[in-house]
Each structure stands twice: as structure tokens, then as C-alpha cells.
């Protein structure tokens, strides 16, 4: 039975990814430091659901702990690693930069070292649409320059891509980076717009709408993200599939987005429809670190893996609202 490590397993994407792998029959080891960036009880609820599965093992661990991480790799002998642990959030990176340096840089370097010494067959890791930063070429394509990040979070994710490439080049470690675009859905992160807006609307409290609502996001439903992650993880890059840019180096990077940017006002209207309540909007100026629009170009994902995200916003929001009502009753 294949043994797969999922880091950040109690997180939003990590939880769904681990659950999907378990349904496929894999043996999954999940690690998470269970930090308090947002409500720990939500992370505990995700973890507890996974722990009911006989082929799942959970280990509380911080990826900054190099010795502890190496110990797990030595003991478990992973075939593949899906690295989703990170300090997330654009705005939080402006006020708490040190957390991002430790988790997203030091922690990621530890993962790379463990994968190298553990002879892992494929490291699939989470990057972000934030790497595009000040790029104004729409839609965002992976062959565009990404050297102008407008947030520290985006800079750390770009650094992850560069570090992974160097490990692929130097040590032959197969690595694939996935740039996620505004992920939402059941069990989501409370700091993300869909979750935060839902909570505020139900409580009849105002929501903060930045740049006076003149923003567009490529909202991507969680099931689409997970399917993309697992399809990519199943197919490590290698010299038999050379790339026009990376050549024979076993490294690739892909966007996973819905390829359909949505105006912020449309998101709010869709939430109002499914919640049966009107939103009270507090219009504000653009925040530092934000961008006006995200829009994923996904033709490479479709070409190489026969997949593109397909869940419409209306369907995804309906499913999220149903989950939210059930979870918080």
C-alpha cells in the first residue's frame, strides 16, 4: 500500500486532500502544528474526522522542527509527499512577517531536505496565485514573470518554487508546484472572504469590502483543487516528458483556478441568495498587498492531466452555505 505524507492535514486543503486519498485506499500520514492562526476547534474537527479512518495516522508536528520531521521520514518511508502546510494569508504577512519566514521558508527547506534524503518519488507542494503580484497580464500564465510580489506571503511562495527547482536540478528530486487561486468550500478557512462574509451576513454585521468592491477573484471550489492536486501528484515529472522551459529537470509548475474571475459584488449577491439575507457593506480603500484581479490560465493543466476546474460559483456557494449551517447549527 502506497504511503503518502500530507502536511497541514488539519488545514482546509490538507483535510480534503487526505480524505480523498483515504477514499482511494492510500495509507496517509498527516502532520500539522495546530496553530491558532484561526479557530483551533475547526482544525480539531477536521483532524478528528480523519482519525476515524483506519489508514490514517496523525502526528502533531511543526515543519520548522527539522529533527522531528526527519525522524518521521526515517520511520515511515514515504512514497510521495503532498506539502500543504504553510502560514497563509496576505494581510497577516504584513503585520507578522517572522511567522512566514519560519514556516514558509525554513519549514519548506526542511521538507525539501527530508524528501531528498528520504528518496521521495514526488513532492507536490502548494504555491499561490499571490506569486503573480504586480503582474498585469491577464490571465495569469505560468510562463509569465513572477518577480514583483506585492506581499511577503507571495514572496515566500515564489521562494518555494525557486528552492524546489534547485533541488530538482541538483538532486533529481521530482517536484511540482501548484498555484492555487482563491480556494473556498466546506470546512474552509474563516479568514477567507466566503467564510467571513457568511458569518457577518448571518449575524447582521457589516462586511468590509475593499477597493469599494472593484475587485475580481478567480474563486476555485475545493473539490476541483483536490482533484488537481491528486492528479498531479500521481504523475511526477521526469526526463521522459521534457518541458519546453525546464528541459529534462523533473520540475513543473501549474495554475489551478476556475478560469473565470468574478466581481466581488457578484460573490456578495450569490451569498445573499443562498443565505436569504442582505449584506451590510462597509466600503473601504484598497489594502496593502492586495491585487485588483486574479485570473488563472489553466491550459497546461488540461493538456497534461486532462482536467480543468468546473464547479460554478453558484453551486460551490450553495454547498458551502449548507455545510456552514450544519456545522454551526
Alpha helices per DSSP H over 118-221: 152-171, 193-202
Cell of 224: 476541483
Q: Which residue of the set 92, 100, 153, 324 is catalytic?
A: 153
Q: How far are the Cα atoms of 20, 214, 311, 327 from residue 298, in angstroms, in the given order?
A: 22, 24, 14, 33
Instruction: Give burial (CB, 10 Å; 0-12/13-18/19+) of 240.
Output: exposed
Going from the C-alpha of 151 to that of each of 13, 130, 155, 271, the distances in angstroms are 21, 8, 6, 28
Handedness of CA 218, 221, 225, 228 (dihedral sign): negative
First-residue to last-residue Cα distance in the chain: 39
The verdict on whether 184 is a catalytic residue reads no
85 and 283 in contact (C-beta within 8 Å)? Answer: no
Alpha helices in the chain, H assignment, sequence order: 12-23, 40-51, 66-76, 90-95, 97-100, 107-117, 152-171, 193-202, 222-233, 264-275, 299-305, 313-328
Q: Residue 302: which residues within 8 A CB-CB, separation 6 or more?
A: 308
> Is 160 within 8 Å of 104 (Cβ atoms)?
yes
Q: How many Cα atoms occupy the beta-carbon half-sphere of 6 within 13 Å?
A: 31
In whole angstroms, give the CA distance from residue 61 to residue 79: 19
Task: For residue 282, give Cα distances in angstroms to 134, 201, 212, 285.
Answer: 26, 12, 8, 10
> Which positions are annotated as active-site residues?
153
Amino acid at each position: 500500500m502506497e504511503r503518502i505524507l500530507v502536511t497541514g492535514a488539519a488545514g482546509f486543503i490538507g483535510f480534503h486532500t487526505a480524505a480523498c486519498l483515504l477514499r482511494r485506499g492510500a495509507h496517509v500520514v498527516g502532520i500539522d502544528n495546530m496553530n491558532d492562526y484561526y479557530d483551533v476547534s475547526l482544525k480539531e474537527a477536521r483532524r478528528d474526522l480523519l482519525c476515524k479512518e483506519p489508514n490514517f495516522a496523525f502526528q502533531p508536528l511543526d515543519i520548522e522542527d527539522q529533527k522531528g520531521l526527519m525522524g518521521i521520514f526515517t520511520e515511515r518511508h514515504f512514497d510521495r509527499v503532498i506539502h500543504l502546510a504553510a502560514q497563509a494569508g496576505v494581510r497577516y504577512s504584513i503585520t507578522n512577517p517572522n511567522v512566514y519566514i519560519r514556516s514558509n521558508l525554513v519549514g519548506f527547506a526542511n521538507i525539501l531536505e527530508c524528501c531528498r534524503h528520504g528518496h521521495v518519488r514526488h513532492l507536490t507542494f502548494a504555491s499561490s496565485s499571490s506569486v503573480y503580484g504586480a503582474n498585469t497580464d491577464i490571465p495569469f500564465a505560468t510562463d509569465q514573470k513572477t518577480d514583483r510580489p506585492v506581499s511577503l506571503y507571495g514572496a515566500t511562495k515564489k521562494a518555494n518554487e525557486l528552492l524546489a527547482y534547485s533541488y530538482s536540478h541538483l538532486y533529481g528530486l521530482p517536484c511540482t508546484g501548484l498555484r492555487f487561486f482563491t480556494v473556498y468550500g466546506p470546512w474552509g478557512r474563516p479568514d477567507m472572504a466566503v467564510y467571513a462574509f457568511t458569518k457577518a451576513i448571518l449575524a447582521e454585521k457589516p462586511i468590509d469590502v475593499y477597493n469599494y468592491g472593484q475587485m475580481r477573484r478567480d474563486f476555485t471550489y475545493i473539490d476541483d483543487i483536490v482533484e488537481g492536486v491528486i492528479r498531479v501528484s500521481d504523475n511526477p515529472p521526469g526526463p521522459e516528458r521534457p518541458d519546453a522551459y525546464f528541459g529534462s529537470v523533473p520540475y513543473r509548475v501549474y495554475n489551478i483556478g476556475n478560469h473565470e474571475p468574478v466581481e466581488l459584488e457578484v460573490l456578495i449577491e450569490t451569498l445573499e441568495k443562498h443565505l436569504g439575507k442582505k449584506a451590510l457593506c462597509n466600503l473601504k480603500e484598497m489594502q496593502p498587498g492586495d491585487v485588483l484581479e486574479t485570473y488563472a490560465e489553466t491550459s497546461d493543466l488540461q493538456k497534461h492531466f486532462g482536467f480543468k476546474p468546473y464547479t460554478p460559483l453558484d453551486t460551490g456557494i450553495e454547498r458551502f452555505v449548507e455545510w456552514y449551517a450544519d456545522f454551526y447549527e
